[in-house]
Amino acid sequence: MTVETSIIAGRTSKWDGILDVCQMLSGVGLILFMWAHMILVASVLIGPGVMNAIAEFFESTGMAQVGGPLIFLLFLFHFLLAARKLPFRFEGMKIIFSHAKMMSHKDTWLWIVQAVTAMIILIMGSIHMWVVLTDLPITAAKSAARIQGGFWTGFYLVLLPMVEMHVGVGLYRIAVKWGVIKADGRAGLHRGENILTLVFICIGLATLIRFWFINALA
């Protein structure tokens, strides 16, 4: 290896490290946002008035108008960073699946789950954000009308588990990759992540059911 090649390799490694840190930070930010988003939307379970009051607060402070597009940009930024390591050609996908089967390694399969859900979320999440942000203000009545339209019920029944699985696996992989959890703690973290994912899916399903019947109960 020449000196020039060594310098270039060093620079590449340095930038890869920086991009990995950015990916981790953007991932953590999106995980926190998704948890907050789920809890705020689920406030409709307490009552439509509670959700409307929270939404009105975000509207009056401009957080919805400004924060929404910023979250969307962060969402795209995170995907672009993660896409550096995703195989987009069939040959690459085939190799990864064959290696996963051969090694029978749980963390490798979790990476595949995260990659597949990322592709689905990129499309469906973009549609969701576009629909919501182009129809401000957010109200319980609007959300209920959308869900009761039929199509969006199926849409969110797919998007909900995809997002929660991606968030759960992402949290686990961040903790493992960055040394937050050691090898002997992986099993416990994985169980906790599965429980947390199931809890948020249940909250999401309860919220969808509430929206479906909100007019009948009002």
Residue 97 CA to residue 103 CA, distance in Å, equals 10
Task: Give the CA distances from residue 216 to residues 141, 176, 211, in Å, rounded to whole numbers and listed in that order.
Answer: 12, 47, 10
99 among annotated binding-site residues: no
Query: Strand, coil or helix: what is 46?
Result: coil
Tokens standing for 110?
């979790």
CA 22 to chain CA mean position, Å: 16
CA 86 to chain CA mean position, Å: 16
Residue 181 CA to residue 111 CA, distance in Å, equals 17
166 among annotated binding-site residues: yes
Contact assessment for residue 200 and residue 164, using Cβ atoms and an 8 Å cutoff: yes
105 among annotated binding-site residues: no
37 among annotated binding-site residues: yes
Annotated binding site for heme b: 37, 78, 128, 166
Annotated binding site: 37, 78, 128, 166
